[in-house]
Amino acid sequence: RHRRSGHLLQGRYKSFVVEEGEYLLALSRYIHLNPVRGPALGRGTPKQRQERLRRFEWSSFPGYAGWGEPWAFIEEELVLGELGGAKRDRRLRYRRFVEEGLVSEIENPFEAVRWQTILGSERFGQKVLDWMQGGAESRREMKSGLRRARPIPAPRDILAVVGKKYGVSPKRLLGRSEWGLAARNVAMWLVWECCELSLAEIGKLFGGLDYAAVAQRIRRGRLDFSPAGRRQLIAQMSNIKI
């Protein structure tokens, strides 16, 4: 339309595999400080930069920090959950964590990216690389081993258990109109974990959703439970009588 090109609309976006913990937190902080970085944007005292950072409207930082309305399409808990501790204090602690970067110099996490695709420790990078180099045959063998190790419930059985737990019929769980239904997200996550269907296959099962939308809802379903709760629920689904 405007005969212009640039980073926003030119070419595919760049993505990395990022290790949880300190690497994910450091990357999130670095990105949130972008509006006050560089010779022009970074001018002024830390207080002046803080004020500009808080006023910058094209940022998700106010939602993470707790003084603005969170954007509905952003999964903030993915980052805030890495801070641990009481959930009510996480936004304040994240705000302080980010704004420490206004006073002291922080490292560019992208300089630690390995093989142009992986941000994390050497052990994590090697683990991802080994998995990628293993190829489809190795992944099929891993799935076969999982099948032998435990029974695989049918999706309908998982829908029945989730529906009973949340007081929702399996038909509602599968209905595409039920966009904000928490039980639907949990059902998608458990089908993904226990039935070994692809994201596309799960999307088809749940009313013809795109695989990216399925991935987002699976993430939301996982976040409804603690790590221990996730393991317990998956074990429960794996022991469904078939």
- The count of other CB atoms within 10 Å of the CB of residue 33 is 20
Strand, coil or helix: what is 120? coil
Is 143 or 31 the better-scoring residue by pLDDT?
A: 31
Q: Give the model confidence (pLDDT) of 175-221 as tens digits.
A: 876 655 788 888 888 888 788 788 888 889 988 888 778 888 888 88
Instruction: Write the burial class of residue 53 (CB in 10 Å: 0-12 exposed, 13-18 middle, 19+ buried).
Output: buried
CA 158 to chain centre: 23
Whether the pLDDT of residue 154 is over 70: the answer is yes
Whether the pLDDT of residue 142 is over 70: the answer is no
CA 226 to chain centre: 15
**Amino acid letter, 137:** E
Rounded alpha-carbon distances, angstroms, from residue 5 to 1, 59, 106: 10, 22, 31
**Amino acid letter, 231:** R
Does the predicted model carry a pTM greater than 0.75? no
Q: Give the model confidence (pLDDT) of 81-135 as tens digits.
A: 988 888 889 999 999 999 999 988 888 988 888 777 889 988 888 788 777 666 5
